[in-house]
Amino acid sequence: MNRAKEFFKRRRNAVVVFSLVFIGLIGISADTNKYFEIAKNLEIFANLYKEINTYYVDDVDPAKLMRTGVDAMLESLDPFTNYISEAEMAGFRLQITGKYGGIGASIRNDGDFVVITEPYENFPAHKAGLMAGDKIISINGKSAKGKTTKEVSDVLKGAPGDEVNLTVRRPGQNSDMNVRLVREEVHIPNVPYSGLIDDETGYIYLTTFSEKAGKNVADALEKLKAEHDIKQVVLDLRGNGGGLLKEAINVSNVFIDKGEEIVSTRGKIKDWDRNFKTLNKPVDTDIPLVVLIDRGSASASEIVSGVIQDLDRGVLVGQKSYGKGLVQNTRDVGYNSKVKLTTAKYYVASGRCIQSVQYKEGEPVEIDDSLKTKFKTRNGRIVFDGGGITPDVRMELEDFSKITQTLMRNNLVFDYATQFRLKNPSIAEAKDFALTDAEYEDFKEWLKDKDYEYETESERLLSKLEETVKKEQYYDAVKGALEDVKQKKAIEKNNDLNKHKDEILPFLEREIVGRYYLGRGKIEIDLKNDPEIDEAMSLFNDIPRYNKILTTSN
């Protein structure tokens, strides 16, 4: 009996060993096949490139041809995995550090030239007296006519301490100006503004999760509490496309206790999976908090807003966020270039991943909640995965009229602000500034010889109707009625500047304030004309409603 047992035991062990070896061989075989496919296709790619380079009818640019192939390959993966060439490394470092060497100004194309849209406070362009609206005619003696924004930007950037000489043309002046600037290390702050909405409400605007974002938010909150004894705070993450994962944890830590799990990452390489917890003492875990998000809030912004929601720490207001739940790491690929590679997905405190599951033309597609997985916040509220963070108080984006869109698109609001600044040496403080009725009438008068033709939706439909009745041979019967509608519509359209005055005024006031108080002034005046800020204040003024949002399960 014992011999029989021993025999069957040995046979069973042999079967197990054989099975493990067989499975291992399958794994080795699978890996071998995979690496063979990689080698084979790399050889095909190289041969194909050689044939094109040798025999194609026209000369080809090797770098451009190869870049097209690389970009197409990475495009098939996800919108966030991309190649960073040596020439693009400066821009990549700017995203991480917020620093670059240059004159400190934003620019855009305007006709044949590039125009300064905003000099950054206390950097070379601002210190040299350059203003929004100044056209760059030449750089270091070479004409800038016909140059793109990127071409001009590349020349303006350079090593701190180096000189750059500009010839600029200012509207309203008879002659061009020669301006000598010395490049500096330009640091774009990730918290460009913090201040008061009212005597009890603090406001912190975070634009990117670059280095020290957490420290800067913490410092801003501590300063507001110390200097103004605020009772509540708004954290604005609208338009914030993300940045460093560690800074998302640090920003969360400002409002959340030490030791709380903020996010976990999981990918193909299990050894890289991580759980991230807050490491520091928070600034304030009790102060009522509203976080503003929108479609431009992505990645690190979604980690922070997602955790604030999952832990019921504050109320989210705005529009659904972008839906980027992917982690990127950079890998060197030689010749001072890198690939920014998606290596994992991240999961916020409730366990949900907010990565959008569908894309169309590189943009996330919203899917119905019934197709998503439910998760629960700490207080038991229902939240969903797979497509961004849905705010607790969802607000619709304002749909601007055709005339407002046209005035902005044709830079007429920008150009009028330039003229206004030339005529008015000073204005009231940004938070107090408002255009008078007489000044708005001046704007309308200034527009009279400007081209801002636009077609309203009703005009488009009227034209389509006219085409249809002509095609169906009813035109003679309805011609008089159509002409009557057209005339009445034209009269009404001429009144659009008055009809949409309340919509146009905030854009005008913002642009004008920016001429005197730069970016800080624009933010201050925006706080007066912001429906999401109004909603945040409504919540703070109704704390029972605020608390109910955070404690009521769906």
pLDDT in the model for residue 1: 47
Cβ contacts of residue 228 below 8 Å, gap of 6+? 196, 199, 202
Tell me: pLDDT of 23 over 70: no
Tell me: pLDDT of 163 over 70: yes
pLDDT band at 463 (very low <50, low <70, confident <90, very high): confident
Tell me: pLDDT of 327 over 50: yes
Comparing 50-59, 158-167, 170-179, 344-353, which segment has the lowest mean pLDDT?
A: 50-59
Mean pLDDT of 37-60: 88
Cβ contacts of residue 318 below 8 Å, gap of 6+? 238, 292, 293, 294, 297, 391, 393, 394, 395, 532
pLDDT in the model for residue 25: 46
> Percent of the chain, pLDDT > 90?
60
Comparing 69-78, 351-360, 417-426, which segment has the lowest mean pLDDT?
A: 351-360
Tell me: pLDDT of 123 over 90: yes
Tell me: pLDDT of 94 over 80: no
What whole-number distance in Å separates Cα of residue 297 and Cα of residue 190? 14
pLDDT in the model for residue 14: 45
HSE-up of 43 (CA within 13 Å, CB side)? 6
Comparing 50-59, 352-361, 544-553, which segment has the lowest mean pLDDT?
A: 352-361
Question: 424: how many CB neighbours lie within 10 A of its CB?
Answer: 12
Tokens representing 257 are 């206790």
Amino acid of residue 8: F
Mean pLDDT of 433-446: 95
DSSP 397: P
HSE-up of 16 (CA within 13 Å, CB side)? 6
Strand partners, 31: none
Tell me: pLDDT of 5 over 70: no
pLDDT in the model for residue 361: 58
pLDDT band at 15 (very low <50, low <70, confident <90, very high): very low
Q: pLDDT tens across 279-321, in order?
A: 999 999 999 999 999 999 999 999 999 999 999 999 999 999 9
pLDDT band at 19 (very low <50, low <70, confident <90, very high): very low
pLDDT in the model for residue 84: 87
What whole-number distance in Å separates Cα of residue 77 and Cα of residue 90? 25
Residue 165's nearest CA partner among 132, 138, 143 is 138
What whole-number distance in Å separates Cα of residue 222 and Cα of residue 220? 6
Tell me: pLDDT of 21 over 60: no
pLDDT in the model for residue 364: 65
pLDDT band at 116 (very low <50, low <70, confident <90, very high): very high
Contact in structure between 101 and 183 (CB atoms under 8 Å): yes
Q: pLDDT tens across 476-487, in order?
A: 887 777 776 766
C-alpha pair distances (Å), 328 with each of 81, 202, 293, 344, 488: 7, 33, 22, 7, 57
Q: pLDDT tens across 164-199, in order?
A: 999 999 998 889 999 999 999 999 999 999 999 999
Per-chain mean pLDDT for the chain: 88
Tell me: pLDDT of 8 over 80: no
pLDDT in the model for residue 30: 56
- If one compares 49 and 534, the residue with the highest pLDDT of the two is 534
pLDDT in the model for residue 219: 98
Residue 277 buriedness (CB in 10 A; 0-12 / 13-18 / 19+): middle
Tell me: pLDDT of 112 over 50: yes
Residue 300's nearest CA partner among 217, 367, 225 is 217
Comparing 8-17, 379-388, 502-511, which segment has the lowest mean pLDDT?
A: 8-17
